[in-house]
Amino acid sequence: MVTTVGTESTLPKLVKNLLLLEHDAIAAYDEVIARLDNPAYKQQIAAFKGDHDRHVSELTQMAATVGAEAPMEGDMKQYLTTGKVALASIMGDSAILQAMRSNEEDTVSAYERASTHAEATAEIRQVFERALQDEKRHRAWMMETAKAG
């Protein structure tokens, strides 16, 4: 799935769409935790989900400051992110992590673009940059672990 999040013309729309993306990601993480067999993988995925929970918290606070709607759940894209995981679970943990890595590609792209948004203040850019570093770390772990598995 290729996301357009980060291309919004206004900061409030960007923050709203990042929140939707994060809620979709959290739903996918819940699906992964339920389907993985390896307990160490489950533990790491739960830690990554904690990063996404923090992103939601920070973005919700940001939404209040920039006058954005703050959705409390994902949108229809959630079915794509969780569906990939459900299908991959037939083939085992490595396939599940590969499916999640592809989901992480979207969050990395979204935060890369968000970090350079014209309306973002220096403080807001720092929040986006921290989230971007989290997403890159998640993606790298999933890539390496899926290869090893």
**Predicted confidence (pLDDT) at residue 147 exceeds the cutoff of 50:** yes
Closest listed residue to residue 45, CA positions, set 141, 143, 148, 147: 141
Q: What are phi and psi of 104, to 5 degrees?
A: -65, -30
Please give the average per-residue pLDDT across 84-97, as a whole number.
66
Prediction pTM value: 0.88
For 65, other C-beta atoms within 10 Å of its C-beta total 13
Domains, the chain, in order of start with CATH, read 11-148 (1.20.1260.10)
pLDDT tens sequence across 55-80: 999 999 999 999 998 987 655 565 45
Provide the pLDDT confidence category of residue 99 given band limits of 50, 70 and 90.
Answer: confident
The token duo for 97 is: 């992590």
- Do the Cβ atoms of 19 and 71 come closer than 8 Å? yes
3 state SS for 55-67 = HHHHHHHHHHHHC
Question: What share of the chain in percent tops pLDDT 90?
Answer: 64
**Average pLDDT of the chain, as a whole number:** 88
* Mean pLDDT to the nearest integer, 10-34: 93
